[in-house]
Amino acid sequence: MKTGRIAALLLLAGVAGPALAAQCNVEIEGNDAMQFNKKSIEVPQSCKKFTVTLKHTGKLPKASMGHNWVVTKTADMQGAVNDGIAAGLDKNYVKPADNRVIAFTKVIGGGESDSISFDAGKLKPDGDYTFFCSFPGHSTIMKGKLAVVKS
């Protein structure tokens, strides 16, 4: 009986183990009300790659209510937004080869999704990063903080 209980505990510990491993991906939703469903994203320091999946839960087309997910240093955000608007929708509102942009998804419309995996080593543990949607006019509301956390 005692042996059985220990075995059960070990089994539980084994099941709990993977939950403690770093979560190197996140899902974020954008909607027709021009909102993300997250205000912050944490990237565990132990992740080599980090994957962000953006889902548009609305119905509106990308030309009128398109969303993407872009991350830059907070200080670089406004410049990347301005140049992205100039680049236009067919460039996903991101200036081509903009080295301020750490990662971005394409612009998607209602019902669509897109994922991006990037080298988490580009992020500094003490860095100040902001993620946002670079569709014209959206970044004032559709933005949040991205931070590297110990894992």
**Chain positions contacting Zn ion, by CB under 5 A:** 67, 133, 135, 138, 142
Picking from 90, 87, 109, 114, the residue whose alpha carbon sits closest to that of residue 100 is: 87
Smallest separation, CB 149 to Zn ion (Å)? 26
Smallest separation, CB 137 to Zn ion (Å)? 8
Nearer to Zn ion by Cβ, of 71 and 133: the residue is: 133
Per-residue tokens: 60:
């509106």
Nearer to Zn ion by Cβ, of 19 and 33: the residue is: 33
Q: Which residues, in sequence order, are CB contacts of 136 under 8 Å at separation 6+?
A: 85, 93
Smallest separation, CB 148 to Zn ion (Å)? 25
Nearer to Zn ion by Cβ, of 50 and 135: the residue is: 135
Cα–chain center distance at 32: 18
Nearer to Zn ion by Cβ, of 102 and 133: the residue is: 133
Smallest separation, CB 44 to Zn ion (Å)? 27
Smallest separation, CB 55 to Zn ion (Å)? 13
Nearer to Zn ion by Cβ, of 67 and 95: the residue is: 67
d(CA 123, CA 150): 13
Per-residue tokens: 141:
């509301």
H-helix or E-strand spanning residue 98 = none
Q: Which residues, in sequence order, are CB contacts of 15 under 8 Å at separation 6+?
A: none
d(CA 55, CA 6): 43
